[in-house]
Amino acid sequence: MKSTLIGLALASASAFSLAIAADPPARDAKPMANDAKTTKHDTKTTDAKTAQGTHDRHVTAIDQPNNQVDIDLAAAARSALVGDESLSTAAKNVTLIAADGEVILRGTVSSSQDKARVEKIVGGVAGVKHVANHIDIVAR
pTM to 2 decimal places: 0.60
In one letter, which amino acid is 13?
Answer: A
Q: What is the pLDDT of residue 4?
A: 52
Contact 100, 45 (CB under 8 A): no
Q: What is the pLDDT of residue 59?
A: 81
CA 109 vs CA 68, 81, 116, 133: distances in Å: 29, 13, 10, 12
Q: Which residue blocks in 23-101 are alpha helix, DSSP H?
A: 44-51, 68-82, 89-92
CATH class, 42-137 region: alpha beta
CA torsion through residues 66, 92, 51, 56, sign: positive
Q: Is the pLDDT of residue 54 over 90?
A: no
Domain ranges in the chain are 42-137
